[in-house]
Structure 1
């Protein structure tokens, strides 16, 4: 083996190889790769050709003297992730992984838009209310075609996101295609520091509260409890729970928040790579279990918001109004490698208590509303779904 193939250069690739072999079913893997994985001879035999190819390229490629081993390692990892047929799998460089962790600090720097990768391309689930993206004219449902003139077709979700994100005060130009339009628009956004907000609450007329949950973070349960206190103090008769344009968030958060509205039963269960099942139950009587309730969703309600809407619907707790949700029902994690880079992939899928798989299916509302796609919130009189939810809730309260 070439002396270029040193242990110092190998760990990121070897850790990734070992993690992916474990993912295939050999053993259960720990949450974080904390110890270097021994190189070369301790890898499974079927992965030997990867090391051979690496050595041959470094020895014999016409440009072998200027080949960058780190680029070869990253390319090999990307190739393995692509072979998984996992739409959420990505490789993050050390810089990208560090930037990806910003959300845990309570803010991040960028344009403030939640995006995902669909068959059509990089799609905006929702701009964060009040963030630079929304102010510049980015809308839910927009397709992002290029970033600063770079075509992003074929890039992974994480690679695309990391092109868009950057230090506050800098500019990024996006070529976007708005929903229902044929002409592409070039939009320049000045990045900012985006606080991670979670909810907004207001009282509508006739004692009806409107609680919009933007996402599920570490503070969401506390925010929802405060909203319920406000509803009670205002003499509220019922609550509209709005999950539109909610891209998801932390699993622990959505479990704790959903538990505020259910007094018993299974919130969801998940199946891991070994086929093992783990159930999450409503275990306490929260402050909102008896409040008359209607839930609103739309096609941009994704992931954790689909869990909450689906759990409330299947339990019979409340009627769901709106349009079918996005259909993203899986647990995806980043596992850090020895050089600070990381691999991001799916480890579990979510199911509702009746066996409905969220991934690729979503939640179908009890009352379907075809509403024009537009930034939220808008005035009550123009909000078709909100008005219908209000009517349904008012009728429920009248017959109680």
Structure 2
């Protein structure tokens, strides 16, 4: 599987916080392959998917690779090749830079160095470009952008998610600032649910389950592994809310948490989505330690939109389809028409 921009960025930023450990190469990678298959069975969001032929073939190939790989580098490259055409997203094998517990503790304080969200203007139209959902500084930039939008009295807002590969909870302020009323956006579905049910949760199931309100990635990872269902609800802000027309630009590389944002904005009725069907890579993953100084990121929860169903493998369909690089022209044309 190709490493998504979200996962690549998250790994790079977290790993940069501690020096790489010197780990000798080894010719015995079979224990690593066996540990990977065990972690998948223990933590993957849907045991049924692991019994399907597509995953069974990958599992057999991983074990064969473990038996034949000449060392870590050979195993890493082989693993990535095996997962190029995968039955589900958010599986990454990486070298460890600190333990999984240390990485989980660090992720909520992560700062990407700025530039995750930028605000520009075209006349009375605000253009908020958000290239990642990671970073406390991205959250700060989104909040500051909405404050400027309110202060200057924008007549329309364009939110550009075309290069956004996802991340974490910068999705929260991005969505909340345009809502007129609370939105039951979707629900994360974890292994306890899928082990006991052969169906997706219904509206009644969602209504009976309290919404998750932590908005910490570390506590979220804990919640989705412990709970069968984890509903997501967005509440409107009380200050700097934008009530004018909203246009959201999306592309086939808009992924993960950015797809959650696009779906929520569409479902709220507050935004018109323009561009391409999004990536369809909407799972939640966390990291586990492996032997030989490696770590495995695997998906621990699936996501179902209340309005549009499962996003993984399907993506979010725009209201107006266009080539990604023309989506802004379409949005400005609609704004100019009034």
For structure 2, the residue ranges without an aligned partner over 5 or more in a row are 1-28, 48-65, 195-227
Equivalence for 1:279:
231
Question: Within the alignment, does 1:232 sit opposite 2:150 as a pair?
Answer: yes
Equivalence for 2:313:
360
Equivalence for 1:22:
42
Q: Secondary structure at the match of 2:241?
A: coil
Question: Within the alignment, does 1:386 sit opposite 2:328 as a pair?
Answer: yes
Aligned residues, how many? Answer: 252
Q: Cα deviation per residue 1:219-255 (whole Å; 9 max; x = unaligned)?
A: 22221121122223333212111111111111x3313
Q: 1:255–1:280: 8 Å Cα contact kept in structure 2?
A: no
Equivalence for 1:301:
254
* Selected match of 2:299 from 346, 353, 363: 346
* Selected match of 1:258 from 175, 180, 186: 175
Paired with 1:369 and 1:244, the residues of 2 have a C-alpha distance of: 12
Higher fraction of strand? 1
Call closer, same or farther: CA 1:359–1:203 in 2, change over 3 Å. same
Q: Secondary structure at the match of 1:305?
A: helix
Paired with 1:238 and 1:199, the residues of 2 have a C-alpha distance of: 18
| Structure 1 length-normalised TM | 0.52
Call closer, same or farther: CA 1:323–1:24 in 2, change over 3 Å. closer
Paired with 1:329 and 1:25, the residues of 2 have a C-alpha distance of: 13
Question: Within the alignment, does 1:267 sit opposite 2:180 as a pair?
Answer: no
Paired with 1:283 and 1:339, the residues of 2 have a C-alpha distance of: 44
Q: 1:11–1:337: 8 Å Cα contact kept in structure 2?
A: no
Equivalence for 2:21:
none
Q: Secondary structure at the match of 1:229?
A: helix
Paired with 1:313 and 1:322, the residues of 2 have a C-alpha distance of: 13
Q: Which has the higher contact order (CA 8 A, sep 6+)?
A: 2
For structure 1, the residue ranges without an aligned partner over 5 or more in a row are 1-8, 28-53, 62-66, 108-194, 374-383
Q: 2:280–2:313: 8 Å Cα contact kept in structure 1?
A: yes
* Selected match of 1:91 from 84, 93, 107: 93
Q: 1:97–1:341: 8 Å Cα contact kept in structure 2?
A: no
The 5 Å alignment of 1:239-250 reads 239-250=157-168
The 5 Å alignment of 1:197-212 reads 197-205=115-123, 207-212=124-129
Call closer, same or farther: CA 1:202–1:17 in 2, change over 3 Å. closer
| Structure 2 length-normalised TM | 0.61
- Structure with max Cα Rg: 1
Paired with 1:253 and 1:246, the residues of 2 have a C-alpha distance of: 11
Q: Secondary structure at the match of 1:346?
A: strand
Q: 2:45–2:299: 8 Å Cα contact kept in structure 1?
A: no
Q: Cα deviation per residue 1:282-302 (whole Å; 9 max; x = unaligned)?
A: 124353352321111122211
Q: CA deviation at 1:10?
A: 10
Call closer, same or farther: CA 1:97–1:390 in 2, change over 3 Å. farther
Q: Cα deviation per residue 1:45-92 (whole Å; 9 max; x = unaligned)?
A: xxxxxxxxx9xx9xxx9xxxxx98x86xx79x969x97x954543332
Paired with 1:326 and 1:246, the residues of 2 have a C-alpha distance of: 10
Paired with 1:337 and 1:349, the residues of 2 have a C-alpha distance of: 23
**TM-align CA RMSD:** 4.2
